Structure 1
Amino acid sequence: MKRLYSALLASALLLLLNACASGPTIKSDYDPSVDFSQYRTYNFFKPMGIENPNYSSLLGQMFRQAISREMEARGYTLSPNPDLLMNVSAQMQDKTKVTTYNEPYYGGYYGYRAGFYDPWYGYGGGTRTQVSQYTEGTVNIDMVDAQEKRMVWEGVAIGRVDGSRSNDELRTAIDQGVAEMFANYPFRASP
């Protein structure tokens, strides 16, 4: 069961990445009632939502590095007694896509072939339906006020799961996905 859980989470995280041109949908939001100038330090939940409760995973380490890079670029420092706690979680959902195409109608004609009257009535004009199955994954990065235990910011990536990446490609995809999530993070740590 633990193996299945780990495999599912790892696969879901691969969405941070879909190699298709459109890529994942990236969103972020924050609580406008929070005074972000009060925060200067951060750390991570132990364990994060993507990890086994007994140990840190390589995937978790990749996310920690990417999130730390973004937080430090905004003036926050890693601390054992943080103002903010960061968490990464993931989930997957099987989806079905149904696409219906209208087939064009090719009209007939009347003509004479070798002296015979030949009415041709045409063809087409129906519909064609295509059904495909895929897995959609969601990765959440939560920023939680450590004192109040309240989420103050969230970044989300939603996309199709692509399990065909190497570790280097996965690391690059995580770095890019986390950077995109933080691109609209409007705050900096106060000096």
Structure 2
Amino acid sequence: MRTLMLTAMVLILAGCASNVVTDYNSATVFGDYSRWAFAGSEQDDAVTTLDDARVRNAVERELGRKAMKKVAEADADVLVGWQIVPEERLEQVGVGLGFGFGRGNFGWGVSAPPPVREITEGKLVVRMVDRQTDEVVWQASSRRYLNENQSPETRRKLIDEVVSDMFSQYPPGLN
């Protein structure tokens, strides 16, 4: 029974773990921000990737829920920008093999580790910049990753969930 209770507590605590990490300038008065715009992009505006469009839609929806008005860049209090930061990690793609022999407390064994491959994944980072001071005042980064094997629908759902989690922690101090 004790093991069952401990397992339940671990699962509950794991469910409470956040999928995003936020940081902000504690001297900022976030109540002063009511108008926002997307930060100018270094890309040609005619070339918008599919993930860019998904992130834009999710950010517009979430800031609309915060009663912030989207305006032209020149009229905005804050500029919102994002990037998908590539990160590499190793992934096991099979099982290791091994064999051994011996008796009692003595024996010999040989094993080979499982094969691994390097995977590049993308971590979404969203920043809000005060237009007057040109300083980042709020930032959120995802602990969940986009990868090349995800279907378009999975990518859209993941971006929607991550951006929603990010803006659930904006403005800071109201959680």
Task: Identify unmatched segments of 5+ residues in structure 1.
Answer: 1-23, 110-120
What is the CA deviation profile of residues 51-72 of structure 1, one whole-angstrom value per residue up to 9, with x for unaligned ones?
Answer: x234251432221110111111
Provide the residue aligned with 1:76 in structure 2.
68
> In the alignment, is the contact (CA less than 8 A) between 1:87 and 1:141 conserved in 2?
yes
Equivalent pairs, count: 148
> In the alignment, is the contact (CA less than 8 A) between 1:67 and 1:178 conserved in 2?
yes
**Larger RCO, structures 1/2 (Cα 8 Å, 6+ apart):** 1
Distance 1:160 1:60 in 2: 15
RMSD: 3.2
Given the alignment of the two structures, is residue 91 of structure 1 paired with residue 76 of structure 2, yes or no?
no
Distance 1:168 1:96 in 2: 25
SS at match of 2:171: coil
Provide the residue aligned with 2:44 in structure 1.
53
Larger Rg: 1
Provide the residue aligned with 1:175 in structure 2.
160
The Cα of 1:149 is off from its aligned counterpart by: 0.7
> In the alignment, is the contact (CA less than 8 A) between 1:44 and 1:87 conserved in 2?
yes
The Cα of 1:29 is off from its aligned counterpart by: 1.1
- From the superposition, tell whether residues 32 and 131 of structure 1 become closer, same or farther in structure 2 (CA, over 3 Å): farther
Provide the residue aligned with 2:133 in structure 1.
148
- From the superposition, tell whether residues 25 and 69 of structure 1 become closer, same or farther in structure 2 (CA, over 3 Å): same
> In the alignment, is the contact (CA less than 8 A) between 1:28 and 1:155 conserved in 2?
yes
The Cα of 1:44 is off from its aligned counterpart by: 0.1
Task: Identify unmatched segments of 5+ residues in structure 2.
Answer: 1-17
The Cα of 1:87 is off from its aligned counterpart by: 0.4
Distance 1:75 1:187 in 2: 15
Give 2:61's aligned amino acid: R
What is the CA deviation profile of residues 81-109 of structure 1, one whole-angstrom value per residue up to 9, with x for unaligned ones?
Answer: 110100011222334469xx9x8987515
The Cα of 1:185 is off from its aligned counterpart by: 2.0
Distance 1:78 1:25 in 2: 26
The Cα of 1:170 is off from its aligned counterpart by: 1.8
Percent identity over paired residues = 22
The Cα of 1:127 is off from its aligned counterpart by: 6.0
> In the alignment, is the contact (CA less than 8 A) between 1:44 and 1:85 conserved in 2?
yes
